[in-house]
Amino acid sequence: MRTAIIGGGAAGFFLAINLKELRPEMEVTIFEKSKRVLAKVEISGGGRCNCTNSFADVRDLSAVYPRGHRLMKRLMKGFSQADAYDWFERHGVRLTTQDDQCVFPLSQDSHTIINCFLAEARRHGIEIRSEAKIDSLELLNDYDFIAVTTGGSPKADGLRWLSDMGHEIELPVPSLFTFQIADEALHALMGTVVEDVVTMIPGTKLRAEGPLLITHWGMSGPAILKLSSYGARLLAEKQYQCPLAVNWTKLRDTEVLSQLDEMVIRNPQKQIKTVSPCGIPSRLWGYLLEKCLGERANGRWGSLNKKELNRLANLLSGGDSYQIAGRAAFKDEFVTCGGIALSSVHPSTLESRHVPRLFFAGEVLDIDGITGGFNFQAAWTTAYTVAHAIHTFLP
């Protein structure tokens, strides 16, 4: 029996290795259209590969999988984050869990994952064909099973050959990207990190929490990346031109006002810019003061009147607004929202409802997660599901 895997990324290799472990007699070939396999794994997590998450802080999968959470809940009963952790450790990749529950190789090097996959592929005799673009099943008539693990397609045209077979396609749009903001004064704060903020798209229920990084083009960090994931479709519809609000304190305005009143009592003669409330970095505090108070930002704490304190409290607790002027996309590292609609596959096996013995795994499916190792976990879970489905398909 022979299986063809279209796509030499994380899901493709994981599927191939698990299938060979379940069915050693199976001939497995990976077809990769580019010269290099596992290129996205190499650059993921800043070159460290955030390969999964402990899920210890996850109460509802919809919070980490904006699309596909119901299917992931079902499939993770068969292959969970704990199973993924155990799999890598058993295959010689020692892992470590950070305080934020992200899981990385202990080596802090993505090549540890890549070397593991390549070594297992060699050990199991998995054939790897690079520069082999497959866009028709007619090219694979000699294979008994076919699995598509091509990853996210930036454009719907890349999935047309699959839609022509009857598969419904959810329009692919980018997810997990940073925001361009046309504000030179903000850009001057490049490198400033605020450890815990809330970002929001005004007029919607979209909001995200976490660290925020100010960059030379706008804003980045988990609080921005998560928001871009939650709002991927809305932001695409608005052509990445919409308002953004930031709560720099995660507090309500009354709570911030109470802290500001305390600052006035304790520091009446100190310059406002020299003492920042709520742990706000000093450079950012100066920027926010200028934005809110103008020339009055150079005064002393004791000179602030009630109206000015209320304005500051509002600004710090969610009233600080910006205009998103585009997305800053790194073409090799973004995640795609959309792909093969989940209605087009059998939920227990991920086999196509339209073409027998054709399966899908990884980002080609309309499943995507926020930053933090959740997309790799989706790759491991769906790939294992397909490997197990092919295994049980046979006597």
Domain ends where: 305, 328, 351? 328
Q: Calculate the alpha carbon distances from 124 to 120, 128, 215, 382, 388 in Å.
A: 6, 12, 45, 21, 17
Give per-residue pLDDT as tens, 11-56: 999 999 999 999 999 999 999 999 999 999 999 998 999 999 999 9
Give the domain range for residue 255: 178-328
Note the pLDDT of residue 155. 86
Note the pLDDT of residue 22. 98
Across 162-180, b (16+ Cβ under 10 Å) vs e yields beeeebebbebbbbbbbbb
Domain ends where: 308, 328, 348? 328
Same domain, 197 and 316: yes
Same domain, 220 and 98: no
Same domain, 20 and 166: yes
Confidence of residue 329 (pLDDT cuts 50, 70, 90): low
pLDDT (average), residues 201-206: 97
Note the pLDDT of residue 328. 83
Same domain, 282 and 255: yes
pLDDT over threshold 70, residue 333: no
CATH of the domain at 29: 3.50.50.60
Same domain, 21 and 170: yes
d(CA 148, CA 134): 10
Helix (H, G, I), strand (E, B) or coil at 207: strand
Same domain, 241 and 302: yes
Confidence of residue 332 (pLDDT cuts 50, 70, 90): very low
pLDDT over threshold 50, residue 149: yes
Give per-residue pLDDT as tens, 62-81: 999 999 999 999 999 999 99
Is residue 112 within 8 Å of 105, Cβ to Cβ?
Answer: yes
Across 288-323, b (16+ Cβ under 10 Å) vs e yields bbeebbeeebeeebeebeeebbebbbebbbbebebe
Domain ends where: 328, 344, 376? 328
Residue 5 — φ and ψ, nearest 5°? -115, 120
Same domain, 184 and 84: no
- In what order do the strands lie in the sheet containing 102-105? 52-53, 102-105, 95-97
Confidence of residue 330 (pLDDT cuts 50, 70, 90): low
Same domain, 212 and 73: no
Domain count, the chain: 2
Q: What amino acid occupies position 366?
A: D
d(CA 188, CA 185): 5
Where are the alpha helices (H) located in the chain, listed in sequence order? 10-22, 39-47, 69-75, 81-90, 111-123, 160-163, 184-187, 222-230, 232-237, 253-266, 282-293, 306-316, 374-393
Nearest alpha-carbon partner for 370 in 172, 232, 198: 232
Across 253-272, b (16+ Cβ under 10 Å) vs e yields beebbeebeebbeeeeeeeb
Same domain, 336 and 319: no
Same domain, 147 and 84: yes
If one counts every other C-beta atom within 10 angstroms of the C-beta of residue 237, the result is 11
Estimate to the nearest angstrom the gap between the alpha carbon of 24 and the chain centroid: 34
Same domain, 259 and 212: yes
If one counts every other C-beta atom within 10 angstroms of the C-beta of residue 9, the result is 27
Nearest alpha-carbon partner for 79 in 361, 350, 385: 385
Same domain, 49 and 91: yes
